[in-house]
Amino acid sequence: DAGITQSPRHKVTETGTPVTLRCHQTENHRYMYWYRQDPGHGLRLIHYSYGVKDTDKGEVSDGYSVSRSKTEDFLLTLESATSSQTSVYFCAISESAVHEQYFGPGTRLTVT
Amino acid sequence: AQTVTQSQPEMSVQEAETVTLSCTYDTSENNYYLFWYKQPPSRQMILVIRQEAYKQQNATENRFSVNFQKAAKSFSLKISDSQLGDTAMYFCAFMNPFDINNDMRFGAGTRLTVKP
């Protein structure tokens, strides 16, 4: 299995609080991604990174920001969590744009 | 934007039998990649199989094979000799590696249950 970890694995937070999810990889892959998974929608891309300090928006980026200061870490921040951001969040990595993506174990976030 | 459709929300199959999961997609691109991912109850997303659009030969991985019909924009997954461990959600995904957004689009998934 690809060396991808996510922390925390579960989190419950209140509306309006900031939340940061961490993705850590040991594969030295250039590309990293954050997805959210919701029933009936499959996985949807939030943000992705194509190198250190290089990030861009995905399909559902509103309300989220990301940072990548090191190759191995990709952080997803919800500045002010809302109930609509209750979801399962997956991090993924890939060697390049033409390679398949490998996923982390997911983080279940509940915003009350 | 590319879209991926999985028209079967749920399916079931008897152990040892064969089942086919359907997937269609919409794109104007000629070169792209298609994938099937499996998500068991553990929630881990596992790559099952990959198909490059420029390859005419259908991809195969052990008991898993695909029927790739490029003109029809169809990409079905066949699971032979189904096992209880195949019970999972299955997601079809499309990727255009030449898209600046490098976006992988997923279908809504098919929940497969293998019955003993």
Residues of B with CB under 8 A from a CB of A: 1, 4, 33, 35, 37, 42-47, 50, 91, 93, 97-98, 101-104, 106-109
- CATH fourth-level superfamily of A4-50+64-111: Immunoglobulins (2.60.40.10)
Q: What is the mean pLDDT of residues A14-38?
A: 96
H or E element that contains A89: strand A87-94
What 3-state class would DSSP assign to B84? helix
- Domains of chain B by residue range: 3-115
Q: Which of B45, B50, B102 sits opposite A48 (nearest CB)?
A: B102
Average pLDDT of every residue of chain B? 93
> Closest Cα to residue A25, out of A3, A48, A6?
A3
- Domains of chain A by residue range: 4-50+64-111
CA distance A8 to chain B (A): 15
Contact flag A100-B98 (C-beta cutoff 8 Å): no
Pairing of strands A73-78, A87-94: unpaired
* pLDDT tens readout for residues A29-79: 999 999 999 988 889 999 999 999 999 999 899 999 999 999 999 999 999
What is the fold, at CATH topology level, of the domain defined by B3-115?
Answer: Immunoglobulin-like (2.60.40)
Q: Report the distance separating Cα A75 and Cα B20, nearest Å.
A: 38
pLDDT tens sequence for chain B (116 residues): 678 999 999 999 999 999 999 999 999 888 899 999 999 998 899 999 999 999 989 999 999 999 999 999 999 999 999 999 999 999 999 998 777 666 789 999 999 999 99
* pLDDT tens readout for residues B35-59: 999 999 988 999 999 999 999 899 9
Considering Cα of A34, then A92, then A39, then A16, what sign does the dihedral take?
negative
Intra-chain end-to-end CA distance of chain B, in Å: 41
**Residue-wise over A59-94: b if at least 16 C-beta within 10 A, else e?**
bbbeebebebeeebebbbebeebeeebbbbbbbbbb
